[in-house]
Amino acid sequence: MKNIILILFLIFDSVFCINRGEQIINRSDCIKAIFSEYDKNYDDFLDKWEYESLQYDTNPELPLTWQNYKTLCHLTNAVFALGLDFSQLSKTYNELSILLGTNLVNDFNKIFKEFKLVL
């Protein structure tokens, strides 16, 4: 339900942004949609299992090991026991994308197949 509301909000916002001459959807909105899709327990953190699910859906040939998850938490200053919050997930797509090999557009398109994102 939370995901449907977020997607409807993004579509609604996009329709009205066209008339205002603003960007239809920005990077932050895409990351919010991804974060909301994988935060299954609604605690505002992506724990190891939730992030592992994101990793599998976007890059199944590269499984998330415990060591890789610890490294990810270290790079983003996340508390290992809690997981990554929204700003830390954003960091993986913005500041650390070259180091981690993340690609926001590709991930968004793999997760939300009903939409086609081009930035």
Using one digit for the tens of pLDDT, what is the confidence trace for 95-105?
Answer: 999 999 999 99
Task: Report yes or no on 119 lying in a domain.
Answer: no
Domain count, the chain: 1
Task: Report yes or no on 116 lying in a domain.
Answer: no
pLDDT for the residue 18:
43
Q: Pick from 22, 50, 14, 17: which is nearest to 34 by CA?
A: 50
**How does pLDDT run across 8-56, given as a tens digit for each residue?**
566 555 544 444 444 477 899 999 999 999 999 999 999 999 999 999 9
Domain coverage including residue 7 = 2-111
Q: Assess contact for 49 and 43: CB atoms under 8 A.
A: no
Q: Assess contact for 34 and 89: CB atoms under 8 A.
A: yes
Across the chain, mean pLDDT equals 86
Give the span between the Cα atoms of 28 and 68, in whole angstroms: 24
pLDDT for the residue 43:
97
Task: Report yes or no on 68 lying in a domain.
Answer: yes
Q: What is the mean pLDDT of residues 78-86?
A: 97
Give the span between the Cα atoms of 113 and 24, in whole angstroms: 18
pLDDT for the residue 21:
47
Q: What is the mean pLDDT of residues 52-67?
A: 95
Task: Report yes or no on 117 lying in a domain.
Answer: no
Is 60 exceeded by the pLDDT of residue 67? Answer: yes
Task: Report yes or no on 14 lying in a domain.
Answer: yes
pLDDT for the residue 47:
97
DSSP state at residue 43: S
The CATH code of the domain that includes 36 is 1.10.238
